[in-house]
Amino acid sequence: MYDVAVIGAGMAGMATAARLQAGGLATIVFEAHGQAGGCAGFFRRNGFAFDVGATTLVDFDAGGGVGGQFLRDIAMPPINGDPLPGYVAWLPDRRVTLFRDQASWVVERLRALGDSPVHRSFWQWMDRLAAVFWKASRNGVKLPIQCAGDIVQAVRAVGLMNLPLVRYVGWTMGDALRSLGLRHDQPLAGLLSMLLEDTVHAQIDDAPLINGALGITIRGAGLTRARGGMYGFWRSFVAHYRSLGGILRVGCRVSKVEDLGAGDGFRLRTRRGDFAARQVVSAVPAALTARIAPKAVARALNPYLQRDASALGGAVVVFLGVPDDEVAGQSFTHHQLLHDYSGPLGNGNNMFISVSAPGDTLSAPEGYRSVMISTHCELEEWEGLTSSEYMAHKERAGTRLIALARRVYPDLGRSAVVQEVATPRTFERFTLRPRGAVGGVRQSLLNSNQRALSYDIGVPGFWLAGDTTWPGLGTVACVLGSRIVAEAVLSQRLRDLSRRAFLMNPCASLHH
């Protein structure tokens, strides 16, 4: 019997398993796909490696960041990669360079977006919120608060001096802009819209202010692109996990988890046979967890699934393998584009271009580069299509994204040696995410923070991790969640050992 079985080898699942394995527990990870990664994964084609979702690792610096602390916790060397100096936001009427360096960013935002007293007040406000709540995240704050211990930990993480900022937990980013008379400032609102959709998957008037403040400052926490992109990262990470003694079973889908009762653990049924574990961490989407989990887990999840059914979204991604000269002429390798201030976001209006670093031959053959172009989309537009309708829609979407990306790289895709398009159907097929929804739920005041889905749903020994639970989407959120879940699993293990010791020798326990 394993100490812990983890379902899903995405960022949250593998990070949780690695922490527990490094902490002395025997872990096994089950992954339905043929490799680890999930929505932060990759695929390879004709010598190119393409990132299928996340293209960067956030807060993985060797200092005090969430990712950096994680690497230290599992004794893994620093990521072999390139820290990004920032990226460029292309608005309809201007460009804004989102510098990683805070001093450079302060100068740039005032130059490009307005230097009035209210603009300065807004940015100072966001800086303060971001500084306090990035620190709280790194200090181990956990939401939703479920007990007195959580309250104590939250106060410690935030700090007594900063507790007044908690009053903004009921504000949206739109509320903050309206309070300063800036809601209809098109360039400012346009930039914030791009950043918020990319980080919390929400519109300005829906995005919780605190979450949004963290999202719009995410590059300041440090963005790193591993050599080889996610292919390079996962190659190193999986090798390290296995060196710790952890077991990863790929191509091994879990069809059912059964509670053995009486604190005897769980049985996991797979195509390779049955496995037993004392505790289970499900790091797949909540909707998928409900399908395979014990009935008590499904009952606990159903209210959240019903609430969040309309808060799901998808993505379309174009993958290009191109000669170096097609991506020449730009000093930054990452760009985010908004084409129309008044148009709805998604389907190209707000898109992200990520290009592998020059000389990164793990990502592309010498003289070539890997390019990923991504945008959000609604799930409904990809559903109910015939095969021919689907292929035509997919081709139109890919052609449109490449054409829009030529605003940055005028010759992009003209001599591509690889050109592929991923849609919600692709994500559903390869990651088994229901309906192909990616990135968790679109965050709002109704489903985030204190109202978020917790890692602990009240079924002893069964835990949740990943982007559909608090704190939500992104590599940094999944790594942060893994720490919270790992601590809970280890605490439960200690309680179980104490209980067994008492049952085996109650008199000895009383004497101690």
Residue by residue, DSSP assigns 418-469 as EEEEE-HHHHHHHH--GGG--SSPPP-TTTSGGGSPPSB-S-TTEEE-STTS
Per-residue CA distances from 428 to 37, 61, 285, 349, 431 (Å)? 14, 32, 12, 23, 6
User: What are the beta bridge partners of residue 322?
Assistant: 369
Q: Per residue in 162-196, is it b (16+ CB within 10 Å) or e — as a string? A: beebeebeebbbbbbbeeeebbebebbbbbbbbbb
Quote the CA–CA distance of 54 and 225 in Å, as a whole number. 10
Quote the CA–CA distance of 88 and 98 in Å, as a whole number. 6
Start-to-end Cα distance in the chain: 29
Per-residue CA distances from 39 to 44, 227, 466 (Å)? 15, 18, 10
Residue with tokens 């966001």: 126
| Residues recorded for the chain | 512
pLDDT tens for the chain, 512 residues long, are: 999 999 999 999 999 999 999 999 999 999 999 999 998 999 999 999 999 988 999 888 776 688 989 999 999 999 999 889 999 999 999 999 999 999 999 999 999 999 999 999 999 999 999 999 988 988 888 999 999 989 999 999 999 999 999 999 999 999 999 999 999 999 999 999 999 999 999 999 999 999 999 999 877 768 899 999 999 999 999 999 999 999 999 999 999 999 999 889 999 999 999 999 999 999 999 999 999 999 999 999 999 999 999 999 999 999 999 999 999 999 999 999 999 999 999 999 999 999 999 999 999 999 999 999 999 999 999 999 999 999 999 999 999 999 999 999 999 999 999 999 999 999 999 888 999 999 899 999 999 999 999 999 999 999 999 999 999 988 999 999 999 999 999 998 888 777 666 666 665 544 44
User: What are the beta bridge partners of residue 483?
Assistant: none
What residue spans in the chain does CATH classification 3.90.660 cover? 313-435
**Could you give the angle at which helices 209-216 and 186-199 cross, rounded to 10 degrees?**
90
φ, ψ of residue 443 in degrees (nearest 5): -75, 140
User: What are the beta bridge partners of residue 223?
Assistant: 58
Residue pair 348/404 in contact (Cβ under 8 Å)? The answer is yes
Quote the CA–CA distance of 74 and 19 in Å, as a whole number. 6
Homologous superfamily of the 2-82+226-310+440-501 domain (CATH): FAD/NAD(P)-binding domain (3.50.50.60)
Q: Cα–Cα–Cα angle for 294, 295, 296, nearest 5°?
A: 95
The correct CATH number of 313-435 out of 1.10.357, 3.40.50, 3.90.120, 3.90.660 is 3.90.660
What residue spans in the chain does CATH classification 3.50.50.60 cover? 2-82+226-310+440-501
